[in-house]
Amino acid sequence: MSEINNTNYFLSAGRVLWLTGLSGAGKTTVAMMMQRRLLVHGVKALILDGDQVREAINDANWQYDLQSRLKGSYRYSKLAALAANQGHTVIVPTISMFHEVQQWNKDNLPGYFEVYLKTSKKVREQRDPKVLYRDYQTGDNINMVGLDLKIEAPIAPDMVVENNGTMRSLSDACDQVLSAFIAKPLN
């Protein structure tokens, strides 16, 4: 991790680490791990967690249907652009289910690095941190991405992390993501 010791690299220009995957893939867990790893090296990263952004904006018209999700995806992207263009390191854990948004991110976000967290359906259902899968089984959750709504998985992410294992294997994966994120040249 010697690359990270040069914090001027991070402070001179903003960067965006985009974590995508279905509910239960570990996006928020990875984001928090990455934030802690960066902070140890003097880099304070901003997390724009999908659920927290949705809550902060508090738009009654921002629902969970396909059109609302597309609108929301662009909101995450534009907020990340705003912060990164001011020199911040931004971590965005969100489902990010649209190819058009993924392409917009690649074209517009400084230092954009996309990580796809792939997790089996069985593991996601076992984790079920927001009880979405259980609610789906009982009919209390509709418009579930990956079940009702199709996800457009990233076509060419910078990294794919298979996240079906333990916290230790996830910690190792975070180290790999961080090294690759740091090594990628700025746009």
Residues identified as active-site: 96
What is the torsion angle, in degrees rounded to the nearest 10, for the CA atoms of residue 173, residue 32, residue 117 and residue 25? 120
Count how many residues are written for the chain: 187
DSSP string, 32-98: HHHHHHHHHTT--EEE--HHHHHHHH--TT--SSHHHHHHHHHHHHHHHHHHHTTT-EEEEE-----
Contact 94, 19 (CB under 8 A): yes
CA distance 138 to 181: 40
Closest CA to 178 of 87, 89, 80, 48: 89
- Do the strands 15-20 and 45-47 form a parallel or antiparallel pair, or are they unpaired? unpaired
CA distance 179 to 38: 11
